[in-house]
């Protein structure tokens, strides 16, 4: 069994992966920034390390690493999952503070997490770091999400570059969850009509956390070659879902 660390692991797909890993016997440590949420998840995941850590602060992530190793010993897998989005607005209308928070959480958070994990794994001579892709990672652009998309495009570049410089015995890769029904997916729609239109596409391409997270979790601990790229929503799956959409009814947002 592996020891797995997940940043942003107190909600959404990070929490889903943590639960799936615990259910299959792995040792898990997660962090989040909301102290009330951390306390709630700590009470639910009694066998895990659950703590508060801000990925934009490298010292806090070092403390997170130390807490996990103190409890479980060497870290086998580190997943830089923490991420946020912003309101869907043109760049010049997006408040500077919002843009900064997205860039610092999504990109600087991955940089900090990778730096901490790779240094620790170099010392223990083994381990794998996963970075989480998102909209924009493949270069696709979406109106109103320039900052978010740029942050995820940069994370993909970062990971591919790290694959060329990791120390012996250590590896990195990319996890691509596709469209998952979380707060992140539907965040920032001010126009109800625009959200309704987007939901039509989501109902074709998106999936619930409970579907995607166990699939990703299993591959996170088994496909740890350097440069690995694990994708849930492949091009073939997209084509198939659009082709079969008229033949089936999906409502992922039903109460």
List 64, 65, 148, 232, catalytic entry: 148
End-to-end CA distance of the chain: 37
* DSSP per-residue string spanning 43-101: HH-TTSEEEE--TT-HHHHHHHHHHHHHHHSS--EEEE-------S--GGGS-HHHHHH
Examine the residue annotation and report whether 189 is marked as an active-site residue of this protein: no
Beta bridge partners of 5: 29, 78
Q: Are 37 and 10 in contact (CB under 8 A)?
A: yes
Give the Cα-Cα-Cα angle 148, 151, 154 (nearest 5 degrees).
150
* DSSP per-residue string spanning 191-230: -HHHHHHHHHHHHHH-B-HHHHHHHHHHHHTT---TTEEE
Q: Are 11 and 82 in contact (CB under 8 A)?
A: no
Q: Which helix (H) or strand (E) holds 18?
A: helix 12-23
Distances (CA, A) of 123 to 23, 117, 126, 239: 29, 10, 8, 44
Q: Is 182 helix (H, G, I), strand (E, B) or coil?
A: coil
Task: Give catalytic residues, as residue numbers.
Answer: 148
């Amino acid at each position: 069994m592996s020891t797995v660390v997940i940043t942003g692991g107190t909600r959404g797909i990070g929490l889903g992966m943590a639960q799936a890993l615990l259910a299959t016997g792995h040792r898990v440590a997660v962090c989040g920034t909301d102290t009330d949420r951390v306390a709630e998840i700590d009470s639910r995941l009694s066998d895990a390390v659950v703590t508060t850590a801000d990925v934009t602060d490298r010292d806090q992530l070092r403390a997170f690493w130390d807490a996990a190793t103190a409890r479980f010993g060497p870290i086998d897998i580190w997943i830089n999952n923490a991420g946020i989005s912003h309101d869907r607005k043109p760049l010049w209308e997006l408040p500077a503070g919002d843009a900064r928070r997205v860039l610092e959480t999504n990109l600087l958070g991955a940089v900090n997490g990778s730096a901490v994990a790779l240094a620790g794994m170099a010392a223990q001579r083994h381990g794998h770091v996963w970075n989480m892709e998102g909209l924009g990672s493949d270069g696709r652009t979406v109106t109103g999400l320039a900052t978010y998309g740029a942050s995820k495009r940069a994370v993909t570049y970062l990971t591919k570059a790290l694959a060329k410089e990791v120390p012996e015995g250590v590896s990195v890769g990319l996890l691509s969850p596709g469209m998952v029904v979380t707060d992140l997916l539907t965040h920032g729609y001010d126009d109800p009509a625009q959200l309704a239109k987007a939901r039509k596409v989501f109902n074709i391409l998106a999936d619930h956390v409970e579907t995607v997270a166990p699939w990703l979790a299993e591959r996170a601990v088994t496909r740890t070659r350097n440069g690995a790229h694990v994708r849930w929503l492949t091009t073939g799956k997209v084509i198939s879902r659009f082709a079969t959409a008229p033949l089936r009814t999906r409502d992922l947002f039903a109460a």
